[in-house]
Amino acid sequence: MFFNPSNIDVDARGRVWVAEAVNYRDFNTAKQDPRTHLAGDRIVILSDDDGDGRADTSKVFVQDTDLRAPLGLAVIGNRVIVSASPHLIVYTDRDGDDVPDHKQILLTGFGGFDHDHGLHAVVAGPDGRWYLNVGNAGPHVVTDRSGWTLRSGSLYTGGSPYNLKNQARMASDDGQIWTGGLGLRIEPDGTGLAVLAHNFRNAYELAVDSFGDLWQNDNDDQVMACRTTWLMEGANAGYFSADGSRYWQADRRPGQNTFDAHWHQGDPGVLPAGDNTGAGAPAGIVRYEGDALGVRYRGLLLSAEAGRNVVYGYQPRVSGAGFALERTDLLTSLAAGNPNYIWNQVDDDRRKWFRPSDVAVGTDGALYVADWYDSIVGGHQMRDGQGHGRIYRITPKGRRLASPTIDLQTTAGQIEALTSPAVNVRASGVERLVAAGDTARPAVRQVLNASNPFHRARAVWVLARLGDEGVREVEARLTDEDPQIRIAAFRALRQVKDSVLTETTRLARDPSPAVRREAALALRGVPFATSREPLTAIAAGFNGSDRWYLEALGAAATGVEAELYTHLLGAQPHPDPLRWDTRFAAIAWRLHPTA
């Protein structure tokens, strides 16, 4: 029915779409005489026609020579977005016959052609925009549809014969030096390209939840330092030096452990590294926001770990200004874990051929896990010449889940799409509800009363785009009893209002450190004369030990570090650094003003 699944998605009809990577790294694999598709790789649609949970039919949506082992796939309405470096390609099926009527190269210029560290999947956010990421196989020189150009690179080369040149210290049109792997956001029309975070090694995918939080897992340098983390806006993830000119080994301090050194954890301006998952090959990631599996699974962050033959599950818990992540094995082919995974080892134990490459959520609330199935993963290697692959469906024991019929022509159907557990299906509901304007507002407002907090958050995002009355509804949520709803409301207002300084100043004194963190992030780039009051309040709320909070404060002070330091120093009872308390000493370390 399909071969070598690299990425999957689910459409509004509950069908599973598969990006195949048959033509995978022939510079390494040709000697094994593997299966080859001369007309290019394919996007395949799987359908369960009788509702028994097994695919009955398979059809090819597109086969294209521009698809060389594509790493990403998203189905958003009648658009099928495929990530295949150097291109982000949009195929549009205007008449619904499962044949593309139009092909558009929406963006081009991404590095990583025929490389694992290239362009990864698009995922639709609750704000109606598209999120995507790219690995560190630069350079990435990409001009969006409005003429804005991203320029990003590092000293990394290799991995494929096409990745021979790269360059650090490249400045984008925003004047910033972005390096390594990148988290990006664009409007669906290809305008508004923006960098959300940088300096990854090779995060395979971003997960965007309904509160607007970003999650990722990142691949290590074969030193037992893979990680899963919440990704803060504007963050430096710490793989290379800040400008991309040095590997982590060059910056390692005496006595520093490998994990901390690998992600530059001793450097100001670097986000906390999250959960150290050890050696591995992390792949697809998604947050489960549905109820079909039971309330205890609602909010579960799922991370496919192809190297270790497991899908990890996390239930993120707010901890200060960040999140604590406690890992469990949700699905594995092994009776015991595989902590000694070696990236280039060929394994004869077929239990270890389970290579989960992606995880997706269906419209019925079921989980779908793509299995690359091979004796090796990593290092651009493949030993299975036949292109075997599987997709597993996970449902609650004793329950039969059915995909609903979603009528996107009606308001009720649009609300059903908005509240769907399938990530990209929700985008179709968002798009149509926003287009409906005032007439949709009463129905969206009802979702604010949902028992599922993820549904409530989605309603907040849509209301912010439904005129002045909708904005007022969202402003009222800034005092919601749930801090995560307050955060979602503030993020949604930032999207639609020219200035949120009044809201920022109020939230700078919010009892929740996470809400104050969001206020801090909104102050980046604001002149100090304007930001001084809320910055002072945010600094006063620092407890001396919360690294997430400290990094948010530092991000807020970008460009005004000296002014903020001088201002805060003036309020210290002792100008002598040896007499500072740990709280102000940490702030001074993060701001690192010129001595």
**Residues 67-124: tens digit of each pLDDT:** 999 999 999 999 999 999 999 999 999 999 999 999 999 999 999 999 999 999 999 9
Q: Which residues are CB-contacts of 253 (< 8 A; sequence separation ≥ 6)?
A: 261, 266
User: 447-505: per-residue pLDDT in tens?
Assistant: 999 999 999 999 999 999 999 999 999 999 999 999 999 999 999 999 999 999 999 99
Q: Could you identify the residue written with the tokens 């979702």? A: 447
pLDDT band for 33, please (50, 70, 90 cuts). Answer: confident
Which residue, 250, 282, 314, sits at the end of a domain? Answer: 282
Mean pLDDT of 57-65: 99
User: 339-388: per-residue pLDDT in tens?
Assistant: 888 888 888 899 999 999 999 999 999 999 999 999 888 777 787 888 99
299 within some domain: no
* Residue 285 confidence (pLDDT): 99
**Does the pLDDT of residue 141 top 80, yes or no?**
yes
Number of domains in the chain: 3
317 within some domain: no
**Does the pLDDT of residue 214 top 90, yes or no?**
yes
**Does the pLDDT of residue 595 top 90, yes or no?**
no
Q: Kindly state whether residues 444 and 572 are assigned to the same domain.
A: no
User: 402-423: per-residue pLDDT in tens?
Assistant: 999 999 999 999 999 999 999 9
Which residue, 497, 529, 554, sits at the end of a domain? Answer: 497
380 within some domain: no
Q: Which is higher by pLDDT, 135 or 27?
A: 135
Q: Kindly state whether residues 425 and 489 are assigned to the same domain.
A: yes
Which residue, 497, 518, 538, sits at the end of a domain? Answer: 497
Give the CB-side neighbour count of residue 140, counting CA atoms within 13 A: 31
* Residue 221 confidence (pLDDT): 78
* Residue 427 confidence (pLDDT): 98
Q: Kindly state whether residues 274 and 211 are assigned to the same domain.
A: yes
Give the global pTM: 0.97
State how far the Cα of 316 lies from the Cα of 296, in Å rounded to an integer.
12
CATH number at residue 455: 1.25.10.10
**Does the pLDDT of residue 553 top 80, yes or no?**
yes
* Residue 118 confidence (pLDDT): 98
Q: Kindly state whether residues 132 and 223 are assigned to the same domain.
A: yes
457 within some domain: yes
Q: Pairing relation of β-strands 282-287 and 16-20?
A: unpaired
595 within some domain: yes
CATH number at residue 271: 2.120.10
Q: Could you identify the residue written with the tokens 């698809």? A: 67
Q: Kindly state whether residues 431 and 558 are assigned to the same domain.
A: no
Q: Kindly state whether residues 541 and 483 are assigned to the same domain.
A: no
**Pick from 132-141, 261-270, 380-389: least confident:** 380-389
Supply φ then ψ for residue 575, to 5 degrees: -70, -20
Q: How many residues does the chain have?
A: 595
pLDDT band for 575, please (50, 70, 90 cuts). Answer: confident
Q: Kindly state whether residues 65 and 90 are assigned to the same domain.
A: yes
439 within some domain: yes
State how far the Cα of 232 lies from the Cα of 209, in Å rounded to an integer.
13
546 within some domain: yes
Q: Kindly state whether residues 527 and 454 are assigned to the same domain.
A: no
* Residue 185 confidence (pLDDT): 99
User: 183-213: per-residue pLDDT in tens?
Assistant: 999 999 999 999 999 999 999 999 999 999 9
Q: Kindly state whether residues 113 and 256 are assigned to the same domain.
A: yes
163 within some domain: yes
Handedness of CA 283, 286, 287, 290 (dihedral sign): negative
* Residue 558 confidence (pLDDT): 97
* Residue 82 confidence (pLDDT): 99
Mean pLDDT of 523-539: 98
pLDDT band for 579, please (50, 70, 90 cuts). Answer: very high
Q: Kindly state whether residues 483 and 513 are assigned to the same domain.
A: no
Q: Which of 437, 498, 436 is nearest to 467 (CA)?
A: 437
Average pLDDT, the chain: 97
Domain around 459: 406-497
**Does the pLDDT of residue 4 top 80, yes or no?**
yes
Mean pLDDT of 234-243: 98
For residue 356, cis peptide bond before it (omega within 30 degrees of 0): no
Percent of the chain scoring above 90 in pLDDT:
92
State how far the Cα of 225 lies from the Cα of 63, in Å rounded to an integer.
37
Supply φ then ψ for residue 437, to 5 degrees: 70, -135
Q: Kindly state whether residues 488 and 593 are assigned to the same domain.
A: no
Q: Kindly state whether residues 513 and 430 are assigned to the same domain.
A: no
* Residue 348 confidence (pLDDT): 87
